[in-house]
Amino acid sequence: MGFDGSAAAGTLEVTTALERLDLLADPVAESVRGLGDDRIGVAEIDPDLADTAAFCEKYGSPLELSANCVVVAGKRAGEVRRAACVVLATTRADVNGVVKRRLDVRKASFAAMDEAVMLTGMEYGGITPFGLPEGWPILVDPRVVEAGAVVVGSGLRRSKIITPADVLPELPHAEVLEDLAR
């Protein structure tokens, strides 16, 4: 890999994601292949430890370098508007403040698990900003970008992506949104 993501990776053995697309959900693999960035890494993990707290404890990855990606939805004039929010594990997305205003909806909430899984083509607990449906805004908290390197989902529970944080705002439809997280 072309960058040092060891602080985020903890004890994980990281390989360039382009060489291990089999460790990524199909839409994620397509996204990573399209980016062609060999700095994006992937590591296999125990799928029973995919949830953030358990993952960080087992693999020595600091919570402040682990980013969660959550799917949020709201309605306006009968139209469902969705977005993905990427925030550090030490924070929470301001869904009914900043996100609600950004989506221009009356009320925003986390998408139901089965809906998020179906729409993204990713496993619950592995949803990532890579490979999301076309047109979805990807809202990134500035603290994620400032982290340098972060761990995010791979679309599968059995692996994690370790990536330079500056890759995330470059994803299609991504935007760094001030005050996204509290």
**H-helix or E-strand containing 28?**
helix 26-35
Could you tell me the pLDDT band of residue 24, with boundaries at 50, 70 and 90? Answer: very high
Using alpha carbons only, give the angle 60, 6, 132 rounded to the nearest 5 degrees: 90
Q: What is the pLDDT of residues 37-81, one digit of tens each?
A: 999 999 999 999 999 999 999 999 999 999 999 999 999 999 999
SS3 of 182, please? Answer: coil
CA distance 39 to 173: 21
Q: List residues bridging with 181 in a β-sheet.
A: 93
Residue of 60 and 2 predicted with greater confidence: 60
Q: What is the pLDDT of residues 85-117, one digit of tens each?
A: 999 999 999 999 999 999 999 999 999 999 999
Q: Which distant-in-sequence residues (6+ apart) come within 8 Å of 33 by Cβ?
A: 18, 21
C-alpha distances in angstroms, 128 versus 69, 71, 115, 150, 169?
5, 9, 15, 12, 13
CA atoms within 13 A on the CB side of 10: 20
Q: Does domain 6-173 have CATH number 3.40.190.10?
A: no
The whole-chain average pLDDT of the chain stands at 96
Q: List residues bridging with 45 in a β-sheet.
A: none
Quick check: 75 and 104 in contact, CB under 8 A?
Answer: no
CA distance 148 to 142: 11
How many other CB atoms sit within 10 Å of the CB of residue 97? Answer: 13
Domain boundaries, the chain: 6-173
Quick check: 39 and 163 in contact, CB under 8 A?
Answer: yes
Matching residue, tokens 């959550």:
70
pTM of the model: 0.95
